[in-house]
Structure 1
Amino acid sequence: MSRDEIILLLLKVLAVAVLVFLNGFFVAAEFALVKIRDTQLDPLIARGRRLAKVTRRVLGNLDASLSACQLGITLASLALGWVGEPIFSALLHPVWGLFRMTGSESEHLREMVAVVVGFTAITFLHITAGEQAPKWFAIQRPLPVALFVAQPLEWFHRLSYPFIWVLNRASLWLLHRIGLEPASEHDGGHSEEELRLLLATSRTRGSSTTLGREIIL
């Protein structure tokens, strides 16, 4: 490989690392915003923490913030596949010489192997470093993660708002065409009947308290 080809390959590897980070950023943001409680921000706001105020502002517009997260995840994932897989064609180039697969007759086999190896490696990297690890970290530490992602996420939402608006309108149109009404993305509250069922279950397990029963009932 020439010097220019090596530099180009290193730039692509760097781009893959950045895209994995961005994917993980949006995944962590999505889970942290859903997990965090608004009351956790009160002490920080009382102490004048600017990022806590930004986080509350983001939580106040949660549906739009989650849409921005989903858009970011989608764009990062697509770009990762587009940039990442061709890298392995270059990385596997020295291997072809070892197995004497440099002729034109083995070109299709080389392409197939490179695609399979590239797809497997990028998928592994994407799921582990770009999804699972950020998700678990955000679930375990929602407050610091929410404070970290709030400001960049707000900026990203402002920049991508026209695109998000078009996507939301198109999604609403599709829902209306099949006779469904959209619901809030964070509308995860239990109905009265579900709460009573949960209370009955907790009674049988001995895990409910008098205060809990009074709140539910």
Structure 2
Amino acid sequence: MSEVLLLLLALGLTLACAVFVAAEFSLTTIERSELERAAQAGERGAESALKAAKRLTFQLSGAQLGITVTSLVIGMLAEPSLAVLLRSPLEAAGLPSGAVSTVATLLGVALSTVVLMVIGELVPKNWAISSPLAVAKVVSGPQRAFTACFAPLIRHLNNTANRAVRRFGLEPAEELASARTPQELIALAQHSAREGGIEQDSAELFVRTLHLAEL
């Protein structure tokens, strides 16, 4: 019975790992302007997701910490528990007694790894990439709560990583640069023309070029 309880705990940690993976991929693939519009419209979870996006490197460090810790604990819980549960079926199947322990351990490692990869990593990754805004609104709350609880440790790890990056002559960025959509560029060009920032002819040429690029 204790092995079953440990497996249930490992399954819960696998779902927690899935939340961290989903947060990582949704926050890095989401369109910032779309997220800002959702937050302005008062969509549930959008404001929390926007706050997470504004502290992206900190949140990603938290997600990586969560993924690492849950993965390690899952291995500690699931692999030996599965090995114990598999011994009896392997013995009943006629496997030599000297090989039962080794085979059970190998199967336990393989099964726990496959479940973690599929449920804890691949499924949330694909979900986040296909629907980043929807996923970010769901997982940003738990993600931000986790980073708040472990903020000192995450900050230390993040600062250490930033110092390493600076040694390569690079400056770490807190947020991803947000690419503007063609519609936003058109609106910006028209506004600049009205304000006298650029010539009207230049603005019209720029707008026509963008329209052609969208065809």
Q: TM-score band (shorter)? A: 0.7 to 0.9
> Are the structure 2 counterparts of residues 212 and 77 from structure 1 closer, same or farther at C-alpha, using a change threshold of 3 Å?
farther
Q: Following the alignment from structure 2 to structure 1, what is the Cα–Cα distance between the partners of residues 32 and 23? A: 15
Query: In 1, are the aligned partners of 2:58 and 2:155 still within 8 Å (CA)?
Result: no
**Unaligned runs of at least 5 residues, structure 1:** 1-5, 191-208
> Are the structure 2 counterparts of residues 158 and 133 from structure 1 closer, same or farther at C-alpha, using a change threshold of 3 Å?
same
Tell whether 2:98 aligns with 1:99.
no
Say which SS state the counterpart of residue 45 (structure 2) adopts.
helix
Matching residue's letter, 1:74: T
Aligned equivalent of 1:139, options 129, 135, 141: 129
Say which SS state the counterpart of residue 150 (structure 2) adopts.
helix
Question: How much does 1:213 deviate?
Answer: 8.6
**Unaligned runs of at least 5 residues, structure 2:** 180-207
Report sequence identity in percent: 29
> Are the structure 2 counterparts of residues 41 and 173 from structure 1 closer, same or farther at C-alpha, using a change threshold of 3 Å?
closer
Give the 5 Å matches for 1:200-211. 210-211=209-210
Q: Following the alignment from structure 1 to structure 2, what is the Cα–Cα distance between the partners of residues 189 and 34? A: 10
Query: In 2, are the aligned partners of 1:27 and 1:135 still within 8 Å (CA)?
Result: yes
Question: How much does 1:182 deviate?
Answer: 4.9
Residue correspondences, number: 184
Question: How much does 1:189 deviate?
Answer: 8.1
Q: For residue 173 of structure 2, what is the aligned residue in structure 1? A: 184
Query: In 1, are the aligned partners of 2:44 and 2:137 still within 8 Å (CA)?
Result: no
> Are the structure 2 counterparts of residues 84 and 46 from structure 1 closer, same or farther at C-alpha, using a change threshold of 3 Å?
same
Q: Following the alignment from structure 2 to structure 1, what is the Cα–Cα distance between the partners of residues 12 and 54? A: 29
> Are the structure 2 counterparts of residues 174 and 143 from structure 1 closer, same or farther at C-alpha, using a change threshold of 3 Å?
closer
Say which SS state the counterpart of residue 165 (structure 1) adopts.
helix
Tell whether 2:42 aligns with 1:48.
yes
Aligned equivalent of 1:14, options 8, 24, 32: 8
Question: How much does 1:29 deviate?
Answer: 0.8
Q: For residue 71 of structure 2, what is the aligned residue in structure 1? A: 77
Question: How much does 1:43 deviate?
Answer: 4.1
Return the TM-score normalized by structure 2: 0.74
Q: For residue 196 of structure 1, what is the aligned residue in structure 2? A: none
Matching residue's letter, 1:91: L
> Are the structure 2 counterparts of residues 172 and 53 from structure 1 closer, same or farther at C-alpha, using a change threshold of 3 Å?
closer
Tell whether 2:59 aligns with 1:65.
yes
Q: Following the alignment from structure 2 to structure 1, what is the Cα–Cα distance between the partners of residues 12 and 172? A: 34
